[in-house]
Amino acid sequence: MSGSDQGNTYLEKVVAQQAVLEDDLRSRRAPAPAPAGIAPPPPGPIAKRHRALSGAPPADGPAPGPVDVRISGFWRWKNVLVPPNAFVVHTRRGRAEPLHIGLGVSFRFNPSTDSFLVVPGATQTILINAYCICRELQGVLVQGYVQWIIQDFGIAYRKLDFGDADDPMRLVNLQLREQAEAAIKDKVSTMGVRDVLSDKQPIIEELTARLRAVAEGEDTSDQGLGLRIVTVQIKEAVVSSSRLWENLQKPYRSEQGQIARLAELEAEEAVAQREMAAARIKETQRLEHERELAELRARNESQLFDTEAAEKLRRAKREHDDAREVAELQTETTRHALRMERERHEEEAETGRLRAERDHELARLRAEGEHALAEMRARSLHEQALLDLEREGARAAIENDRTPAAVQTRLIASLPDIMARLPKPDELRTVTVNGADQTSVAGLITQLTAVVGALRAAADGTATDGRGPAGR
More confident residue, 131 or 30: 131
Rounded Cα distance, 103 and 84, in Å: 6
> Quick check: 86 and 118 in contact, CB under 8 A?
yes
pLDDT of residue 86: 86
pLDDT of residue 220: 54
User: Pick from 364, 129, 81: which is nearest to 234 by CA?
Assistant: 129
Q: Is residue 404 pLDDT above 80, yes or no?
A: no
Handedness of CA 323, 326, 332, 334 (dihedral sign): negative
User: Pick from 130, 123, 148, 164: which is nearest to 53 by CA?
Assistant: 130
pLDDT of residue 422: 67
User: What are all long-range contacts of 172-175, with beta carbons under 8 Å and residues at least 24 apart?
Assistant: 172/124, 172/227, 173/124, 173/126
User: Pick from 102, 27, 94, 92: which is nearest to 58 by CA?
Assistant: 27
Element (H, E) at 229: strand 227-239
Q: Is residue 45 pLDDT above 60, yes or no?
A: no
Where do the domains of the chain lie? 413-462
Residue 172 CB neighbour total at 10 angstroms: 24
Across the chain, what does the average pLDDT equal?
Answer: 76
pLDDT of residue 303: 87
pLDDT of residue 222: 60
> Quick check: 233 and 201 in contact, CB under 8 A?
no
Element (H, E) at 227: strand 227-239
Secondary structure tally for the chain: helices H, strands E: 9, 9
Beta strands in 75-123 (DSSP E): 77-81, 86-92, 100-103, 107-109, 114-120
Q: What is the pLDDT of residues 264-284, one digit of tens each?
A: 888 888 889 888 998 989 899
Rounded Cα distance, 333 and 330, in Å: 5
**3-state DSSP of 204-221:** HHHHHHHHHHHHCCCCCC
More confident residue, 47 or 405: 405
Q: Is residue 39 pLDDT above 80, yes or no?
A: no
pLDDT of residue 472: 36
Q: What is the pLDDT of residues 76-127, one digit of tens each?
A: 888 888 888 888 888 888 888 888 888 888 888 888 888 888 888 888 888 8
Widest Cα–Cα separation across the chain: 217
Residue 207 CB neighbour total at 10 angstroms: 28
pLDDT of residue 7: 57
Kindly state the percentage of the chain with pLDDT values over 90: 0
Rounded Cα distance, 52 and 129, in Å: 8
pTM comes to 0.44
Average pLDDT over residues 249-258: 79
- Pairing mode of beta strands 227-239, 139-150: antiparallel
pLDDT of residue 439: 55
pLDDT of residue 57: 47
